[in-house]
Amino acid sequence: MPKKSRRFETTVPEADISIPVFETGGYVRLSVDKDDRKSESIENQKQVIEDYIQKHNDNPDRKFIIKLAGFYEDKGLSGTDFDRAAFEELMHDARSGKINCIIVKDFSRFGRDFLDGCNYIENILPFLDIRFIAISDNYDSMAHDAASRKFEVRLKNLTNEMYALESSEKVTAVKTISQKKGSFVGSRCPYGYKAEWINGIRTLVPAGDAAYEVQQMFAKYLAGASINDLMDYLYENRVNRPKEWLETGKTYAEAEEPIYRWRRGSVQDILRNVVYAGDMAQGKYQCRLYENQKERIAVPKEEWIVVENAHEPLVSKEDFEQASNRVNEELNVQISQAGSKQKRIRKNAIYENIFGDVVYCGDCGKRLGAMYYQGRVQDIRRYRYYCRGAYVKDHRQCVYKSISEEKLLEIFQCIIRETLKSYGIRGKDLTQANNKAAQQVIEDIQRQQQKLLKQKKALDDMIQETYFAMKRGTKTLEDYNRIRHEALAKSKEYTDEIEALDKKLMHFNRDVERQNKFLRSLLKANTSRKLDKVLVNEIVDSIYLYEDERVVINLKIKGGEAYAV
């Protein structure tokens, strides 16, 4: 339901059958853009909308009445796309007839995407017979001059999109310049370092005892200690984990304070982080405001911004290389050289860990670890699942339990057949459920393709518009050639993405049919078909392992629909 304002009640004049009443949804949004002014705050937007409604309804010459049904509120979300929970709820209520009017402070609060913004205002909302009001832009879609102001609306939406792009590019450019100078731009310093401004550069400097413990880790590891030995050393000496060190500023836990055993991965990450050899490696991930990427995207190693000797090292480069190489060997990782590019690949990664995403400890709830051994005759892996919590040497320690993949697979196939038969589920039901889930993925891929096609068409239109502008004399030949070159390059990227999605769709359809074949054979007493990780994740919600290899399996399938036991 939309959030209702607690401090405002719309004053609706006495009913007049000659004046229509518009059930109105107030949409407010606060961007992730740090440049948003205080005037754009959620509360300010609400106040502007409420004041406008009150003033409008108090006007004796009003042509219609606005009744505020509630506010739809998106906090901390960029306007560069329309994938927002409250916005989707707003449009759902518009389509269902709960509201027939949308009011915003201005166009930029509604959205900063030019194509989609114009499409909503010019096509979707009029089709739904929804009145749209942007207060600060003095726009009312049902006003007598709305049609003549179409160009103005487009111009403002384009300006809003260019603002988002420009803001993103400025932030990225400033950060890149700082990174190339060797300035640390992260929000949290690596364990063992603190940041200080030295000659205008945010420089990492050793952080006392924590820096000493890093040096101890390297020294002990190079002397032959194992990762487990280092974890024991840190626990026995009450060295706080990086999480507690960042939160409390304490390297060591007091006698009365809890002390947690370090994670293996945390120790390995320190031994492989070039920052401790004095080099600054940044730009490993990318997250742009303009593209509204909600998750960080890994950047290829060859594109990282690396500044050598940027700060005081804690270990020599030779010691770092020796330690990191040993960790890579222990992780069964080899570095393959392909020209100037380096890529970490797993050796003999032939047999996938099919239950890895769904199997948990029934006591502590942690995801189980997976040990494996490599077959000598057949180059495949055999897994055994175990509770990592059993090796924790503090109050979080769990009871030891483990099970082989073969045993778990046998139990799984037996249970799933009995469960499906007990519910009277047929192979046809399973394939229908699988096809239903697959259809959602297919539609998502097709939506991505449609969006790319729309963006590609917009580039074609821009090239054509620039050509006419050159003919009119408002743009030069150089402008036209530059814009055309950039647009064609971007259009080629969109074409490549569309083709990649075509291939993805083809492979996905092939996988769906393969999964359906397996599902049809699932109810038989014996099936030679092999489970894979994708199929397990679609069928299984969770698997819990207890002592004596007792297993509880929660399925997602019941009568062809998803459910949780």
Amino acid letter for position 252: Y
Q: Which residue do the tokens 């269902």 mark?
A: 96
Gap between the terminal Cα atoms of the chain: 28
User: For residue range 528-553, what is the model confidence (pLDDT) as tens digits?
Assistant: 445 667 677 777 888 999 988 888 88
* pLDDT at 221 > cutoff 90: yes
User: For residue range 306-328, what is the model confidence (pLDDT) as tens digits?
Assistant: 888 888 899 999 999 999 899 88
User: For residue range 473-484, what is the model confidence (pLDDT) as tens digits?
Assistant: 888 888 888 888
In contact, 68 and 8? CB cutoff 8 Å = yes
Contacts of 59 (CB under 8 A, 6+ apart): none
Contacts of 515 (CB under 8 A, 6+ apart): 434, 534, 535, 538
Give the Cα separation of 102 and 91 in Å (integer): 9
CATH 3.30.70 fits 193-346, yes or no: no
pLDDT at 345: 42
Q: Which residue has the higher pLDDT, 432 or 64?
A: 64
* H/E element, 22: strand 21-30
In CATH terms, 21-167 corresponds, of 3.30.450.20, 3.30.460.20, 3.30.2290.10, 3.40.50.1390, to 3.40.50.1390
In contact, 345 and 360? CB cutoff 8 Å = no
* pLDDT at 561 > cutoff 60: no
Token digits of residue 465: 């518009």
Burial zone of 131 (CB within 10 Å; 0-12 exposed, 13-18 middle, 19+ buried): buried
- b/e sequence 380-390, b meaning 16+ C-beta within 10 Å: ebebbbbbebb
Give the Cα separation of 492 and 363 in Å (integer): 53
Over residues 357-367, mean pLDDT: 89
- Angle, helix 477-521 to helix 427-472, in steps of 10 degrees: 180
Q: Chain-wide mean pLDDT for the chain?
A: 76
Q: Which residue has the higher pLDDT, 466 or 434?
A: 466
For the ranges 103-117, 132-146, 406-420, the lowest mean pLDDT is seen at: 103-117
User: For residue range 142-158, what is the model confidence (pLDDT) as tens digits?
Assistant: 887 666 655 555 555 44
* pLDDT at 527 > cutoff 60: no
